[in-house]
Each structure stands twice: as structure tokens, then as C-alpha cells.
Structure 1
Amino acid sequence: MDFSCISCISNYSFMIGIGVAVGERSILGIILAIIGLNAVMATGFIMKKRMREKGLI
């Protein structure tokens, strides 16, 4: 498994986590899931930028 596949799976997991937290009415859960989702997405964007700078994509 490469990083893009793991990133995609973790994005879906955080999105599901947001839904579960909303269902449970957990403000802390919603906030943590959103922070986690943003962290994974930011990591992907940073990695894509580095790959573009190296000419890999």
C-alpha cells in the first residue's frame, strides 16, 4: 500500500468519525475528527507539492 491509499482510507475514517460524533452529539468528537481530517489532507497536499517540485508528477 502506498501513502495515497492509506491517506484515502484515513480520510474516509475521519469523515465517518464526524458522522458518528454528530450522531452521539459529541462536540469534542466532532472537533477532533475535523482536526484529524485536516491534518491528513494537509499532509497529502504537502507531499504532492514536494513531488511536483522534484518532477515526479
Structure 2
Amino acid sequence: MGNIKWIFVLFSLLAAISLMGIAISISLQSILLALGSFIALIVVMGFGFKTKKRYREEGRL
């Protein structure tokens, strides 16, 4: 359990917050907030996958 990669915990929390932002924007009927949350989700997921690939190539996973 001491082998936690905290950067991936951060990425997953940010992705979850982005998903919550999408849900909140739907309830508020705000297209701009939904679009912003969706873009944030894509960016966070992209950085997460990019970081995971880099860690795997460096043998850190």
C-alpha cells in the first residue's frame, strides 16, 4: 500500500470533479459550463494517460 502514485490520485480526483461539473451544468442548463467541464475532463485525462505512458517507459510503474 505504500506504493501509491499520488499524481494519479490527483488526476483521478480532477477527472471526477470535471464529471461533477458536467452534471451540475446540466442541472443548471448551462451549455458554457458543460463545455468547459468537458474540455477540462479531456485535458485532465490526456495528461493522465501521457504521464502513465511516461512512467511506464521509465520503468516507474
After TM superposition, the score normalised by the length of structure 1 is 0.90
- Whole-angstrom distance in 2 between the partners of 1:9 and 1:50: 20
Gaps of 5+ in 1: none
- Relative to its length, the structure with more helix (as a share) is 1
Number of corresponding residues = 57
Identity of aligned residues (%): 30
Structure 2 unaligned blocks of 5 or more: none
Alignment match, 1:44? 48
- Residue from 6, 12, 17 that aligns with 2:10: 6
State the shift of 1:50 in Å: 0.6
Task: Please report the RMSD computed on the Cα atoms of aligned residues, expressed in angstroms.
Answer: 1.3
